[in-house]
């Protein structure tokens, strides 16, 4: 980039000295709260100054929103499972490598881009290079699809949190209409044994009745929490083609979830930025409490050792490195559009480099710590069931809505632990949902600036569309649709978008030019800073992403 710059108050071809450049920086800082401001258009400047798109009221609003968006449900129910299935502690090596050379560079690049431009993904890439406009809309499409099914998880947690106040917990025992003959309760078996009976097909039989039935075959066992989740709560059909009817219970919970999101986002980042002070920090309190309680449970040590035991041979497998690459996109969420959206509301001189490093380190530490908590609990459950840790380990919905509900019934004060756990899941889910929703809303407002004065109405409209679109997930086949979206909505697509971003910024726009843009915001940087990030964005990160994509394809084909 040349040592001279253009003055926004003059024609774009007019060049400035260093003194003029400094004046430009100061002026940009004063105008940083406007959207879509083109420094070669005074008419646009006058319009945009009066049509502000909003901004964070404080630095910690942005930092906690960024932390809440990045630290989500995946840290609690996906990362521990990946550690378990990919060599235990050995998984931390590729995960850290991928975070340093792919996740952090992408995060820093997106935060810097959006903060400099003051634009969301819908308009940002069009301004950067007109042919790349589809890149922004691809991000918005991904966030929109994930937004639909992600709020379903929040709806589930709302229901479970509410029924956790019941005494006894509704999923305890097999003496319910929703229980099948495969339902097996260890608590009921112990009570039956104490009365000198034989527990079979969810009934306590006398020895004579047991002999008459000739019950010699071992029935497949399913815990009550699993049958409650599938048969009562989801009313699950036999396949995705058997749509059935809308589950009214779930539809009401989904409506409640969308109302919560609407109320928190109705005033944009000014309202959501305050909510995250609680939602981003509360999960750490619950995780700490669960960790302390988990360490006192029998079998916790075995579970933790199972989690940490490294299998170094796994480092040579393509599956391990592919899983680490995908987890980076679930952890830091680059290429989804959310990072661009959050940073677009920043002050022009905010140090987004520091923010990216803080969030990246916090994310990996949170993921690692959550693994201790989850596996201590799983180790205890395996001890109680007199089985191996590998037979009770699960991920995703199975871990949150089957394994843990089954566990809390064996703890003292089960209702308290159940309420705390599901409230933690609620706050984790809301943080991510806020940004997914804000990404879509910001895209609408950036595309149609006249609607900024009616942002509450836009948020309401997006919420209504989101609720109606999410009704497919609360039918009898909803779980199958949920799994379909979860597997394909944000998988290879985010890798492809990230590679395209690196090519766009590193080669088309120019990494060298982009570094000077960063200096406009954060001040002069050393030559080593220039050389390092230019090399990372132009060569290292895109190469690693291409290798990761190749490994994923290789694993899929294999």
Which tens digit of pLDDT belongs to each residue from 442-480? 999 999 989 988 999 999 999 999 999 999 999 999 999
Question: Has residue 13 got a pLDDT over 90?
Answer: no
Statement to judge: residues 414 and 501 lie in one domain: yes
pLDDT at 368 over 50: yes
Per-residue pLDDT tens digits for 312-334? 888 888 888 888 888 898 889 99
CB-based burial, 500-533: b 16+ in 10 Å, e otherwise: bbbebbbeebbbeebbbbbebbbeeeeeeebeeb
- Comparing C-alpha atoms, which of 362, 368, 409 is closest to residue 385? 409
The answer to whether residue 394 scores a pLDDT higher than 50 is: yes
Pairing mode of beta strands 198-200, 5-6 = unpaired
pLDDT of 136: 94
- Integer Cα distance of 155 and 419 in angstroms: 15
Domain check: are 402 and 546 in the same one? yes
* Of the candidate ranges 28-32, 173-177, 380-384, the one whose mean pLDDT is the lowest: 28-32
Identify which has the larger pLDDT, 206 or 221.
221
199, 188 in Cβ contact below 8 A?
yes
Q: Output the pLDDT for position 170.
A: 93
Task: Identify whether residues 137 and 202 lie together within a single domain.
Answer: no
In a domain, 395, yes or no: yes
431 is in an annotated binding site: yes
**Which range among 229-243, 377-391, 407-421 shows the weakest confidence by mean pLDDT?**
377-391
Largest CA distance in the chain: 100
Q: In angstroms, rounded to a whole number, what is the distance separating the alpha carbons of residues 118 and 204?
A: 67
In a domain, 51, yes or no: no
pLDDT at res. 138: 95
In a domain, 10, yes or no: no
Taking CA atoms, 233 is separated from 177, 220, 467, in Å, by 12, 21, 19
Measured between alpha carbons, how far is 123 from 119 in angstroms, rounded to an integer?
Answer: 6
Has 466 been labeled as part of a binding site?
Answer: no
In a domain, 239, yes or no: no
For 341-359, what is each residue's pLDDT tens digit?
Answer: 999 999 899 999 999 999 9
pLDDT in the model for residue 550: 86
pLDDT reading at 360 higher than 50: yes
Average pLDDT over residues 177-206: 70
Spatial separation of the C-alpha atoms in residues 526 and 348, rounded to whole Å: 20
What is the pLDDT at residue 19?
A: 47
Average pLDDT, the chain: 84
- Residue 1 falls inside a structural domain: no
Task: List, for residues 485-511, the tens digit of each pLDDT value.
Answer: 988 888 788 999 999 999 999 999 999
- For residue 45, being part of any structural domain is answered with no
- Domain co-membership, 502 together with 450: yes
pLDDT of residue 184: 78
- On whether both 200 and 166 belong to a single domain, the answer is no
pLDDT in tens, 273-282: 778 889 889 9
Q: What confidence score (pLDDT) does residue 520 get?
A: 92
Show the domain range for 164.
58-171+244-557
pLDDT at 206: 58
C-beta of residue 247 within 8 angstroms of C-beta of residue 234: yes
Confidence check: pLDDT of 298 > 50: yes
Annotated ligand binding at 432? The verdict is yes
**3-class secondary structure, 287:** helix
- If you average pLDDT over residues 137-160, what whole number do you get? 95
34 band by pLDDT with thresholds 50, 70 and 90 = very low
Q: Is residue 178 part of a domain?
A: no
Report the CATH number at residue 295.
1.10.4160.10
pTM of the full structure = 0.85
| 404 backbone φψ class: left, alpha, beta (φ>0; ψ -120 to 50) | alpha
Total residue count of the chain as it appears in this document: 558
pLDDT at 555 over 80: no
Given this model, what pLDDT does residue 402 score? 86
Q: Picking from 15-24, 112-121, 369-378, 487-496, which range would have the lowest pLDDT averaged per residue?
A: 15-24
Residue 162's SS3 state is helix
Cα separation, 408 vs 404, whole angstroms: 6
- For residues 473 and 80, the model is more confident at 473
**What is the mean pLDDT of the segment spanning 510-519?**
94
- Judgement on whether residues 502 and 428 belong to the same structural domain of the protein: yes
Residues 148 and 279 in one domain: yes
The full DSSP string for 195-261 is TT-EEETTEEE-HHHHHHTT--SPPPPB-HHHHIIIIIIS---SSTT----B-HHHHHHHHHHHHHH
Q: Are residues 469 and 368 in the same domain?
A: yes
pLDDT band at residue 90 using 50, 70 and 90 as cut-offs: confident
Distance from C-alpha of 472 to C-alpha of 513, rounded to nearest angstrom: 46
**How far is Cα of residue 35 from the mean position of the Cα atoms in its chain?**
27
Is 271 flagged in the annotation as binding?
no
Distance CA 264, CA 457 (A): 14
What pLDDT sits at residue 384?
77
Alpha-carbon torsion (360, 365, 368, 371), positive or negative: negative
How many structural domains are present in the chain?
2
Residue 393 and residue 368 in one domain: yes
Q: Write out the two tokens for 322.
A: 């592919």
Of 57 and 178, the structure prediction assigns the larger pLDDT to: 178
- The full DSSP string for 490-556 is TSHHHHHHHHHHHHIIIIIIIHHHHHHHHHHHH----HHHHHHHHHIIIIIHHHHHHHHHHHHHHHH
SS3 291: helix
Across 514-527, average pLDDT: 92
Tell whether the model's pLDDT for residue 211 goes beyond 90.
no
**Are the CB atoms for 137 and 369 separated by under 8 Å?**
no
Question: Are the beta carbons of 108 and 356 closer than 8 angstroms?
Answer: yes
Residue 263 confidence (pLDDT): 93
Q: What number of helices (H) and strands (E) belong to the chain?
A: 28, 4
Q: Is 346 annotated as a binding residue?
A: no
Residues 447 and 524 in one domain: yes
| pLDDT of 245 above 90 | yes
Residues 210 and 141 in one domain: no
CA distance 121 to 101: 23
Same domain? 311 vs 195: no
Residue 84 pLDDT: 80
Weakest-pLDDT range from 11-25, 58-72, 526-540? 11-25
Residue of 518 and 77 predicted with greater confidence: 518
CB 73 within 8 A of CB 399: no
In a domain, 456, yes or no: yes
């Amino acid at each position: 980039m040349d040592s001279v710059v253009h003055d926004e108050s003059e024609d774009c071809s007019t060049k400035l000295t260093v003194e003029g450049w400094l004046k430009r920086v100061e002026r940009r800082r004063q105008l940083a709260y406007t959207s879509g401001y083109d420094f070669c258009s005074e008419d646009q400047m006058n319009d945009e100054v009066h049509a502000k798109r909003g901004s964070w009221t404080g630095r910690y609003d942005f930092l906690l929103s960024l932390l809440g968006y990045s630290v989500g449900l995946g840290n609690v129910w996906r990362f521990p499972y990946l550690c378990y299935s990919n060599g235990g502690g050995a998984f931390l090596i590729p995960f850290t490598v991928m975070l340093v050379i792919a996740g952090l560079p992408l995060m820093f690049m997106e935060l810097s881009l959006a903060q400099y431009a003051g634009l969301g993904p819908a308009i940002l890439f069009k301004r950067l290079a007109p042919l790349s406009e589809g890149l922004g809309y691809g991000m918005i499409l991904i966030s929109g699809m994930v937004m639909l099914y992600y709020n379903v998880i929040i709806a589930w947690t709302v229901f479970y949190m509410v029924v956790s106040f019941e005494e006894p917990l509704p999923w305890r025992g097999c003496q319910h209409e929703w229980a099948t003959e495969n339902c097996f309760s260890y608590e009921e078996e112990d009570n039956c044994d104490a009365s000198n009976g034989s527990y079979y097909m969810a009934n306590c039989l006398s020895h004579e009745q047991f002999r008459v039935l000739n019950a010699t075959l071992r029935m497949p066992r399913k815990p009550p929490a699993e049958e409650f989740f599938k048969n009562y709560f989801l009313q699950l059909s036999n396949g995705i083609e058997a749509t059935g009817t809308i589950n009214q219970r779930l539809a009401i919970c989904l409506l409640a979830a969308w109302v919560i999101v609407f109320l928190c986002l109705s005033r944009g980042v000014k309202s959501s930025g305050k909510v995250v002070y609680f939602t981003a920090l509360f999960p750490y309190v619950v995780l700490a409490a669960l960790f302390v309680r988990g360490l006192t449970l029998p079998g916790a040590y075995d579970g933790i050792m199972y989690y940490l035991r490294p299998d170094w041979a796994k480092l040579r497998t393509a599956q391990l490195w592919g899983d680490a690459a995908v987890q980076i996109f679930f952890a830091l969420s680059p290429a989804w559009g959310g990072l661009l959206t959050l940073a677009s509301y920043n002050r022009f001189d905010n140090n987004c480099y520091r923010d990216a490093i803080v969030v990246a380190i916090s994310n990996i530490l949170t993921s690692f710590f959550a693994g201790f908590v989850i596996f201590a609990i799983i180790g205890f459950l395996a001890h109680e069931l007199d089985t191996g840790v590998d037979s009770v380990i699960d991920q995703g919905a199975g871990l949150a809505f089957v394994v843990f509900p089954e566990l809390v019934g064996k703890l003292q004060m089960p209702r308290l632990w159940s309420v705390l756990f599901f409230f933690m899941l609620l706050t984790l889910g809301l943080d991510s949902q806020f940004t997914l929703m804000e990404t879509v809303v910001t895209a609408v407002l950036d595309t149609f600036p006249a609607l900024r004065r009616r942002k509450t109405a836009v948020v309401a409209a997006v919420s209504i569309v989101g609720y109606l679109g999410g009704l497919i997930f609360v039918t009898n086949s909803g779980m199958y649709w949920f799994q379909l979206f979860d597997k394909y909505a944000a998988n290879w697509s985010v890798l492809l978008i990230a590679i395209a971003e690196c090519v766009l910024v590193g080669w088309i726009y120019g990494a060298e030019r982009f570094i000077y843009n960063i200096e406009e915001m954060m001040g002069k940087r050393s030559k080593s800073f220039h050389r390092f990030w230019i090399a990372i964005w132009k060569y290292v990160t895109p190469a690693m992403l291409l290798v990761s994509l190749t490994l994923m394809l290789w694993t899929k084909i294999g």
